[in-house]
Amino acid sequence: MPRAGLSRAAVTDIAVELVDSAPDGFAGLTLAAVAARAGVAVPSLYKHIGSLAELRRAVALVGLSELLRRSSAATVGVAGPDALRALGRELRAFASGHPGLYAATQVAPDLNDPTALALAQVAHDTVSVVISVLRGFGLADERCVDAVRATRASVHGFVELEAHGGFGMPDDVDRSFEALLDVLVAGIGQLART
Amino acid sequence: MPRAGLSRAAVTDIAVELVDSAPDGFAGLTLAAVAARAGVAVPSLYKHIGSLAELRRAVALVGLSELLRRSSAATVGVAGPDALRALGRELRAFASGHPGLYAATQVAPDLNDPTALALAQVAHDTVSVVISVLRGFGLADERCVDAVRATRASVHGFVELEAHGGFGMPDDVDRSFEALLDVLVAGIGQLART
DNA sequence: GCCATTAAGCTAATACTATTAGCCAAAGCC
DNA sequence: GGCTTTGGCTAATAGTATTAGCTTAATGGC
């Protein structure tokens, strides 16, 4: 009975690969698929993870960390509308290139999970990036959270509708996304003047 | 062996009730729960529906129809920014009051499903309502589809983030939604001027 | 270098899920 | 009243996650 040399990180890595390549993505993640890829029986996975739900949250942490990394990288040295556009484009590109990982970033966190703290931390940092990006618009403090939510909602909504085939007609989706960024830039600019 | 007097419509109605009351909502819809509520064994349901997936699409049709009905009702006799705000508020209210039914409206349609045509029809009509609402903004024709997509994306994204607990801090979410509508109105107004 | 402990795999079993096959009786039609 | 259709049933299959308990590989102490 030779060992496969698994670990919590190795199992999570396999899950990350699977959610981006499997047809059913994050929602269709299954321990059977992970075990098959690892060359191991299903119950063996429980030596490294507590449950499927916990594995899903581990994948979520990877996704959120990558999202934070990209968001930061895309907006260093840019400000105002340009930064907002860059952030939006990067988010859409991430969701397009890693649909499963992006979907994972939407899971609800769970307390009494080993990764709960790390997850809350990276989620906070991600919001901080958005706040920094919006700083260039000169928003009043009490308007800032509204602007952050409008930004997240708009981009996330677009990305999700696009991913789930919600846009019936195949009119140029790239152009529509640029229009969304126009709407956001103009709208938040207006929000700053009220 | 007395009969329960089920039918496709009755089964669908039970499923509709369940997705709005059950904790796991639309994603956690199960034939076992439907059968229990109907007072029938699970396999008996197959006399009325083809599969769980088909039942989910039937629920989606109910949800989309209700969404269309409410969207129309909320925007008759209103125009321009007021209509857009009314539409947005109605959508959010629907999602808040019927979370399972709202989630159901996001399923991907499937051809060779008995309800595929009806589903496409009601989806088309729903988009028509949004187009009518945006007519008051005086958009160029080629900008119209972009504006529709920006509207759907923004509102849907907000509603979904709100439903999944995506807004960490409990700052006034109602106010943030009104701010989103402000952003949308200002942004689409700007889009019309380009 | 051996021994004891820990840790990582396994099989087996349980409890769910959907789905199909085949049977049986209730309801409706002629 | 009998025949057909239809709506229920039980039983069986295959898939899912999860727990329990066993066995053996790797590792640390002396």
Question: In angstroms, rounded to a whole number, what is the distance separating the alpha carbons of residues B176 and B160?
Answer: 14
Report pLDDT for B5: 84
Q: Which of B127, B176, B187 lies closest to A184 in CB terms?
A: B187
Report pLDDT for A164: 93
Query: CA of A13 vs C1' of D23, distance in Å?
Result: 28
A191 CB within 8 Å of a chain B CB: yes
H, E, C per residue of B19-81? HHHCCCCCCCCCHHHHHHHHCCCHHHHHHCCCCHHHHHHHHHHHHHHHHHHHHHHHHCCCCHH
Q: Please state the rounded mean pLDDT for residues A102-122.
A: 90
Q: Does A4 have pLDDT greater than 80? A: no
The Cβ of residue A155 has, within 10 Å, a number of other Cβ atoms equal to 26
**B115, amino acid identity:** T
Q: Does A166 have pLDDT greater than 80? A: yes
Are the beta carbons of A108 and B165 separated by less than 8 Å?
A: yes
Report pLDDT for B90: 98
Q: Please state the rounded mean pLDDT for residues A92-106.
A: 97
Are the beta carbons of B149 and A167 separated by less than 8 Å?
A: yes
Report pLDDT for B166: 86
pLDDT digits (tens, 9 = 90+) for A19-46: 999 889 999 999 999 999 999 999 999 9
* Residue reference for tokens 């059913």: A24
Question: In angstroms, rounded to a whole number, what is the distance separating the alpha carbons of residues B101 and B106?
Answer: 9
Q: Which of B106, B127, B187 lies closest to A183 in CB terms?
A: B187
Q: List the domains of chain B with CATH numbers.
A: 53-192 (1.10.357.10)
Q: Is the CB of A2 under 7 A from strand D?
A: yes
B149 CB within 8 Å of a chain A CB: yes
Query: CA of A41 vs C1' of D9, distance in Å?
Result: 37
Q: Please state the rounded mean pLDDT for residues A7-30.
A: 96
Q: How confident is the model at residue A91 (pLDDT cuts 50, 70, 90)?
A: very high
Q: Using alpha carbons, list the distances in angstroms from residue B93 to A100, A168, B133.
A: 29, 24, 18
Report pLDDT for A99: 97
Are the beta carbons of B164 and A108 separated by less than 8 Å?
A: yes
Q: How confident is the model at residue A146 (pLDDT cuts 50, 70, 90)?
A: very high
Of A16, A117, A95, A30, which is closest to residue A60 (Cα–Cα)? A16
Which parts of chain B have pLDDT scores under 70?
none
Residues 148-187 of A with CB under 7 A from strand D: none
DSSP letters, B108-161, are: PP-SSSTTHHHHHHHHHHHHHHHHHHHHTT---HHHHHHHHHHHHHHHHHHHHH
Collapsed DSSP state (helix, strand, coil) of residue A10: helix
A58 CB within 8 Å of a chain B CB: no
Report pLDDT for A80: 92
Q: Does A85 have pLDDT greater than 80? A: yes
The mean pLDDT value of chain A amounts to 95
Are the beta carbons of B154 and A149 separated by less than 8 Å?
A: no
Phi first, then psi: give them for residue B149, nearest 5 degrees.
-65, -40
**What's the number of CA atoms in the CB half-sphere (13 Å) around residue A132?**
18
Report pLDDT for B135: 94
State how far residue A42 is from chain B, nearest Cα, in angstroms. Answer: 23
B179 CB within 8 Å of a chain A CB: yes
The Cβ of residue B163 has, within 10 Å, a number of other Cβ atoms equal to 15
Report pLDDT for A110: 86
Question: Is the Cβ–Cβ distance between A34 and A18 less than 8 Å?
Answer: yes
A110 CB within 8 Å of a chain B CB: no
pLDDT digits (tens, 9 = 90+) for A54-82: 999 999 999 999 999 999 999 999 989 99
Report pLDDT for A173: 97
Query: CA of A41 vs C1' of C6, distance in Å?
Result: 21
Q: Is the CB of A41 under 7 A from strand C?
A: yes
Query: CA of A5 vs C1' of D27, distance in Å?
Result: 14
Are the beta carbons of B158 and A155 separated by less than 8 Å?
A: no
Higher pLDDT, residue B35 or A113: B35
